[in-house]
Structure 1
């Protein structure tokens, strides 16, 4: 799946399969090793042994767990460059609002021709900073609330 593919929610059957597979793989996941062997069967029942990096297998468990909860999943490489629409979708804001943030220097970006591109990692760094500010503000509001109403 690429960044541009439309996400769809998993079906009830896919959810059930993902839940079972997530549990099964988790039971055999050996995080202390660099790779692990798995067997895959073809349509005709022929088994093929594969060596998979443990890190990739662990990521597969995470993906299956999300699908098992009924969530759509998208994988974006850390070094990916996003269009303004893709970046806006990730932040759940409008594209014009995101463009204003880029123009104000809130999020680093660069231009490819006339088009702006945002590195995924820069977007996640911005999101983490905003989330930290929100959490700090909520903590402060909670402290003020308890000062004014200690029983709360």
Structure 2
């Protein structure tokens, strides 16, 4: 078995030990998770003391999402809301091509700033666009479902 790796999952995929560890920790947190209360976890400290930590619901869900990614062998990248992304990073986040993203920027669908020849997109603006896009898609699907039910 290889030595313990410290490099982030943005640059590599988890190995078998990390996948098993993530699944074990995910199972432990999930067993303690109460939707409105978060999760209480007890941890043994080096001198044998036990410390109980209460994770807020948002923090518990965030940990669960990271652990889901690792336990399924997927890498991930965390993006701070105030980060400025390159057009390629923004396109990757939306799962679209870079040329398509450039069209979104040029049409004003996603605000951006230009520094010299380069465009930068604030993560918060990208996340807001992604939410609007999701809301539009959901509304369209609901409308299709209504139309479909009327045809029956």
Please, what TM-score do these two structures have when normalized by structure 2? 0.71
Is structure 2 residue 117 aligned with structure 1 residue 114? yes
Counterpart of 2:108 in structure 1 is 105
Is structure 2 residue 74 aligned with structure 1 residue 71? yes
Counterpart of 1:136 in structure 2 is 139
Is structure 2 residue 38 aligned with structure 1 residue 22? no
CA distance in 2, matches of 1:40, 1:113: 51
CA distance in 1, matches of 2:146, 2:26: 41
Counterpart of 1:12 in structure 2 is 16
CA distance in 2, matches of 1:111, 1:51: 48
CA distance in 2, matches of 1:32, 1:147: 42
Provide the aligned C-alpha RMSD in A. 3.3
Give the paired residue count.
141
Runs of 4+ residues over 4 Å off in structure 1: 25-33, 36-41, 46-57
Change (3 A) 1:40 1:9: farther
Change (3 A) 1:62 1:52: farther
Show structure 1 runs of 5+ residues with no match: none
Residues 23-76 of structure 1 show CA distances to partners (whole Å, capped at 9, x for unaligned) of: 33555689979xx885566xxxx8899998946963444322331233322211
Please, what TM-score do these two structures have when normalized by structure 1? 0.71
Report SS of the residue matched to 1:76.
coil
Show structure 2 runs of 5+ residues with no match: 1-6
Report SS of the residue matched to 1:118.
strand
Change (3 A) 1:66 1:48: farther
Change (3 A) 1:48 1:111: farther
CA distance in 2, matches of 1:40, 1:9: 29
Change (3 A) 1:26 1:144: closer
